[in-house]
Amino acid sequence: MSSDIVKRVLAGDRRAVARLITMIENDGDEARRALADLYPYTGQAHIVGVTGAPGTGKSTLVNELAKVYRGSGGQPAHSPRTVGIIAVDPTSPFSGGAILGDRIRMRELSGDPGIFIRSMATRGSLGGLARATADAIKVLDAAGYEVIFVETVGAGQAEVDIAKTAHTTIVIQAPGLGDDIQAIKAGILEIADIFAVNKADREGADNAVMALQMLLDLDHASRPTLHHGVMMGEEASTNESDSGPAPSQEQGWRPPILKTVALHSEGIEAVVEAIEAHLMYLKESQTLYQRERERIESELNDILQQELMRRLLDRVKEGELDDLIQRIGRRELDPYSAVRRLIEGEQFA
């Protein structure tokens, strides 16, 4: 049952982890078998999504967070934990190359055997990338990495996919990148568990914080019960108690808004505390179970879709697809009828 690579991944062998992720990117049968074998060993890691527009300083912030978790930051609040970092760039769908600055971060962090860094770019569809990322997370999880950061360029569906995969999602904003309310995309309110306003030493940081607060107020005003506990910078991270009882399932979680200057390692501990507080909230409120259920449902859906297509295309005769495309191009056939023909032809062949 268990192949060599599965055993090596379970033993935490870094080269096996890297190789299996490459196999996943290349979408081979062997990778699928290995993932099935690894699956029982997953579900241990805390998966933290980090998303933000280009220029917000995502990579720097993730690096700093990783350092705190490794105990090499200022004052680690807990014992060191192993960290996996997956940097996903869904905005370079064609190039498929490494991400700028990747080599720099590697140099800074890769000396530590408790950190594994991998960047992934789209090869094929975004669906393929989201799929491959979810599978890479499983590999790191099974290999024993305790905190896994999945870092993505904030970009519509990619953010949503991260939110589906992650337990905790950090949305990074930065001053001067369009801080007005209109520029803050509606969707992020639904996915953000923690807001980090990075580059907070720049002009406009307070405006960015205020804009986010206003949005949160608008959003929460429409909900039955409120939990007011905006954290501002490091000092405010514990003064949540003035508005009533602790967060609960009924009250929900109000995303804290934290100022950071990742480049100077400022405000990082507060973010780590918020990550830990959010995990605690997820566990206590049973939201973790709900999120896990939704994640599995969406993953099952993705795999199903992919597998159905593979099976159908395996059966379509050579040249048949080409012929259909030509006829649709000449407007002799519409794509809906062509699809019906492809599927039903398959069944009666």
CB of 57 to a second copy, least distance (A): 11
Q: Is the dihedral of CA 242, 243, 249, 253 positive or negative?
A: negative
CB of 139 to a second copy, least distance (A): 13
Q: For the chain, first and last CA: distance in Å?
A: 35
Q: How far is CA 45 from the centre of its chain?
A: 13
Calpha distance 47→150 (Å, rounded): 7
Q: 343 by DSSP, 3-state: which?
A: helix
User: Which range binds a second copy by CB under 8 A, 16-24, 74-82, 107-115, 175-183?
Assistant: 175-183
221 binds a second copy (CB under 8 A): no
Scan residues 94-113 and list those touching a second copy (CB under 8 A).
Answer: 94-95, 97, 100-101
# binding residues, a second copy (CB under 8 A): 70
Give whichever of 10 and 312 is closer to a second copy, judged by the CB atom: 312
Whether 256 and 228 have beta carbons less than 8 Å apart is answered as no
Scan residues 50-69 and list those touching a second copy (CB under 8 A).
Answer: 53-55
Scan residues 181-210 and list those touching a second copy (CB under 8 A).
Answer: 182-183, 185-187, 190
User: Which range binds a second copy by CB under 8 A, 12-20, 85-93, 110-118, 253-261?
Assistant: 85-93
Kindly state the helix (H) or strand (E) to which residue 213 belongs, with its residue range: helix 205-221
* Candidate list 26, 110, 157, 249; residue touching a second copy; CB under 8 A: 157
CB of 59 to a second copy, least distance (A): 11
Give whichever of 14 and 311 is closer to a second copy, judged by the CB atom: 311
- Total H helices, total E strands in the chain: 13, 7
244 binds a second copy (CB under 8 A): no
* Candidate list 203, 318, 329, 348; residue touching a second copy; CB under 8 A: 329
Calpha distance 165→160 (Å, rounded): 9
Calpha distance 150→85 (Å, rounded): 6
Closest to 223 (Cα-Cα) out of 196, 189, 194: 189
Angle between helices 14-25 and 29-38 (to 10 degrees): 130
Closest to 61 (Cα-Cα) out of 272, 274, 280: 272
- Interface ranges with a second copy (CB under 8 A): 32, 35-37, 39-40, 42-43, 53-55, 90-95, 97, 100-101, 125-127, 153, 155-160, 176-178, 180, 182-183, 185-187, 190, 292-293, 296-297, 299-301, 303-305, 307-309, 311-312, 321, 324-325, 328-329, 331, 334-340, 342-343
